[in-house]
Structure 1
Amino acid sequence: MRHSDDREHVVQSVTSAPTSGSDDQGHRVKRYLLTMGIRVLCGALALFTDGWVRWTFVALAVILPYVAVVMANAVGPRFGDDVAPVDHVPPAALPEARAEDEDRTIHGRIIDG
């Protein structure tokens, strides 16, 4: 049955939607915690090493908090790509339902796979 006000509607693709704010925040928190975990590891390793290796670990332990905060504050884009229409069959191109198709029974055989 068709309505008189049926028009060709543009169907939008869900895959072109941007990442949600909560998902983006979750990724940033995980990245922050990973970076700070590496910082703690560098601090611990600086206690058990000597020479230039110790100073490398100390430098990383000092620099990594800045890097972690900058990465945690880097918010992803709030707008996705341009929303693209999905190919679809407009209602006018659909065949009319016949009276014998009203029961919508599918006939066939079951084949073991």
Structure 2
Amino acid sequence: MKTSSRAQSATSLPKAPRDDADSRFTKYMVMMGIRIACFIAMAVVTPYGWYTFVFAAGAIFLPYLAVIVANVGQDAPPTTAVAPERAITAPAAASPTPAAEEPLVIRIAESPRLAPGAKDRDARS
């Protein structure tokens, strides 16, 4: 598998799985609440007429629609992404002018570890 040397932007990442599951659960519960309201309206609203059949259809078909809506996750990537490569601007007097607007890169490297006896020899000299 080919790996990219570029860092992935946090704004281009998909929604967290836990947040996605929470939003799908909320949609499902709202639709089930509407279904319960349809059951109650079907029994309470009198005189019975054509709207009773509408409430019955809602009570019958909403569970199917709720499951379909709840199982659809977020597949679309976000439309805007911010590039992760940003340069920190240094004060003008403290650093030389970078050539061709290249970002200032600071690299940190550790010095090699000295042998245990070498530290004592350096201190005596």
Q: Scaled by the length of structure 2, what TM-score is found?
A: 0.57
| Aligned-CA RMSD value | 2.5
Match of 2:120 in 1: none
Q: Which residues in structure 2 correspond to 1:30-109 (within 5 Å)?
A: 30-49=26-45, 50-77=48-75, 80-81=77-78, 85-86=83-84, 88-89=86-87, 90-92=103-105
1:80, CA displacement in angstroms? 3.3
1:72 counterpart letter in structure 2: A
1:11, CA displacement in angstroms? 5.5
1:37 counterpart letter in structure 2: G
Higher RCO structure (Cα 8 Å, ≥6 apart): 1
Q: Deviations over 1:27-56 (max 9, x none)?
A: 000000000000000000000221011111
Q: Is the 8 A contact 2:11 2:82 kept in 1?
A: no
Report how many residues are paired.
84
Indicate the SS of the match to 1:39. Answer: helix
Q: Is the 8 A contact 1:42 1:58 kept in 2?
A: yes
In terms of Rg, which structure is larger? Answer: 2
Q: Deviations over 1:50-99 (max 9, x none)?
A: 1011111001100100000101111222x73596524522225x9xxxxx
Q: Scaled by the length of structure 1, what TM-score is found?
A: 0.63
Q: Give unmatched runs, 5+ long, in structure 1.
A: 1-8, 95-113
Q: Give unmatched runs, 5+ long, in structure 2.
A: 88-102, 107-125
Cα distance between partner residues in 2 of 1:71 and 1:81: 20
Structure 1 residues 61 and 80: alpha-carbon distance in aligned structure 2, compared to 1, 3 A threshold: same
The structure 1 segments of at least 4 consecutive aligned residues displaced by more than 6 Å after TM superposition are none
Indicate the SS of the match to 1:91. Answer: coil
Cα distance between partner residues in 1 of 2:39 and 2:64: 15
